[in-house]
Structure formats: C-alpha cells, structure tokens
C-alpha cells in the first residue's frame, strides 16, 4: 500500500512485535501493517469453550489502526470512533488472522473494513469501522506512542 504524499510508509513497530502491553498479552503478531495474527491459547477461551469475542474485536481495532497509521501525514494522530463487528463463527484452537483495508479517508475521518479468519480459511467475523484523524497537538502531551512522525 503506497503512502500518500507527505505520508509515512514505515510500520509503527517491526513486523511481529507487539506495540503495547495489551497486544503483548494477547499475543498479537503483525505480519504486515494490514495483517495481525494470533495463536489461540487457553486464556483466550470463554466459559463456553470458544474464542472470546473481545479477542477478535481487539484484533480488528489494532489491525485497522495499524493499516490507517501507514497513511498518516506528519503530525496526524488517529483514534477509533466506532467499530461494528459481525461474528460468523468461532474457533477453539489454531491461528486467527485479521486483515484490514482503508476504504476511504480524508483529513478528519477514515472508514475501514476487516475480515477475521481462521488459518484453515474459515471466515470468523467481518467488521466496519471509522477512525478520527486529528492533529497531534490535540493530545495535550498525553501521547504514549511513537514520537514521530
């Protein structure tokens, strides 16, 4: 995916690396800016014996954010406005992948979509989301992410 003029194509972290404590605990691994992988483990299974819904939701949120992060222009920051997710089926073991695409963005809003699938090809969930795009200064010095761009 090409960066816009004045944008940045470098990932916020190296492929495979977690970006914060939550992604480290979940075990999210970036294969690209648009793709996140997770291996199901017992801590991620709900009382019904299924992959907990919030795990797939977190994969979608982080994957969408990562895909949009690549299209930022210097000084821009992003935040999730809302995500609607439809769970199609679930999984109990193996790897789960989330792929995200930026469908449209302007200087204030981005609209995105994601697909969560099992490594065997089964579709687990689909999602659409919107993200705010705003100047870094609006964070008022509370930013914890990378200092640049």
Phi-psi region of 37 (alpha: psi -120 to 50; beta: other; left: phi over 0): beta
The pLDDT of residue 1: 37
Phi-psi region of 60 (alpha: psi -120 to 50; beta: other; left: phi over 0): alpha
Domains of the chain, each with CATH number or no CATH = 21-139 (3.10.129.10)
The pLDDT of residue 9: 38
Buried b (16+ CB within 10 A) or exposed e, 95-113: ebbbbbebeebeeeebbbb
111-134 pLDDT, tens per residue? 999 999 999 999 999 999 999 999
The pLDDT of residue 142: 56
Q: What is the pTM of this model?
A: 0.83
The pLDDT of residue 17: 74
DSSP 86: E
- How many whole angstroms separate alpha carbon 111 and alpha carbon 114? 11
Assign 146 to helix, strand or coil.
coil
The pLDDT of residue 116: 98
- Main-chain phi, psi angles of 96, to 5 degrees: -120, 140
Q: Would you place residue 104 in the very low, low, confident or very high pLDDT band (cuts 50, 70, 90)?
A: very high
43: closest CA among 18, 26, 56? 26
- How many whole angstroms separate alpha carbon 68 and alpha carbon 111? 9
Assign 136 to helix, strand or coil.
helix
79-98 pLDDT, tens per residue? 999 999 999 999 999 999 99
38-91 pLDDT, tens per residue? 999 999 999 999 999 999 999 999 999 999 999 988 888 999 999 999 999 999
């Amino acid at each position: 995916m090409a960066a816009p003029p004045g944008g940045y194509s470098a990932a916020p972290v190296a492929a495979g690396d977690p970006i914060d404590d939550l992604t480290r605990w979940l075990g999210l691994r970036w294969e690209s800016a648009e793709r996140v992988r997770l291996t199901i483990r017992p801590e991620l299974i709900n009382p019904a014996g299924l992959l907990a819904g919030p795990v797939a939701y977190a994969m979608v949120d982080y994957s969408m954010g990562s895909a949009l992060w690549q299209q930022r222009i210097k000084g821009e920051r992003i935040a999730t406005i809302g995500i609607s997710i439809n769970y199609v089926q679930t999984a109990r073991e193996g790897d789960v992948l989330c792929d995200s695409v930026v469908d449209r963005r302007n200087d204030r809003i981005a609209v995105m979509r994601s697909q969560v699938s099992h490594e065997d090809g089964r579709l687990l969930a689909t999602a659409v989301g919107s993200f705010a795009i705003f100047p870094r200064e609006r964070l008022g010095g509370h930013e914890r992410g990378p200092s640049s761009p």
